[in-house]
Amino acid sequence: MTKVVNALENRKSKPLIISDFSPPKTLKLDFLNDVRTLDVDFIFVAYNPGRSVRIESSVLAYVIFQETGKEVIFSMVTRDMNKLALQSHLLGARFLGLENVVIAGGDSFGKSESSLIKSVNDYKPTELMRAVQSMNLGKDFRGRDLSDPIDICVGATIDLGRDIYQEAFLTYQKVRSGAQFFITQPIFYPSQISEFLEAYWEISGTNLIEPVF
């Protein structure tokens, strides 16, 4: 498997393409036929889109890599698990050979769902990113030694559909927390990109040099 940042360095002028992929709710492998036809560099496996029960993202990413040979990214959200569970999932994902994760907060549950399910949010996304960097150095959330550093490449998200200045500030916090690349939500107005980059410069005093997809 290959880290996103390493793959990008080796591409030179050719674009690196990442395809978003929603996990199925089925136990059948028919969906892999769709994956095999995608002419992309990475498959980015989303985490429970629609807040519905689906195949867990790291498990599906592993199966996609094993069955198709395509490079993968899995996603995690801080909404659903506590620190112990999240770090155990990361350790398990790295045991499977996965090298790329995108961390997000996850959409909030609606009022109609509150009687069925509760949010955890033991970490903020930036806190989990910092925790991953500690795990990359061989330390868990208690400061205890892991037998091996996990060495995972951490990505984050950008949503220019929200307030540009606040999103630029949040992106800067994610960079400071260890984000190595970013994946945006769909962008419908190109002017938002220049506005965002200008806001990022104003906030941080530097350009955003981390790759943004």
Q: Is-contact 41 16, C-beta < 8 A?
A: yes
User: Which backbone phi and psi does 74 adopt, to 5 degrees?
Assistant: -110, 160
Largest Cα span, the chain: 51
Whole-structure pTM value = 0.93
Nearest to 4 by CA among 167, 179, 149, 187: 179
Residue 99 has what pLDDT?
97
Per-residue pLDDT of the chain (213 residues; tens, 9 = 90+): 899 999 999 887 889 999 999 998 888 888 898 899 999 999 999 998 888 889 999 999 999 999 999 999 999 999 999 999 999 999 999 999 999 999 999 877 777 777 778 888 899 999 999 999 999 999 999 999 999 999 999 999 999 999 999 999 999 999 999 999 999 999 999 999 999 999 999 999 999 999 999
d(CA 18, CA 5): 12
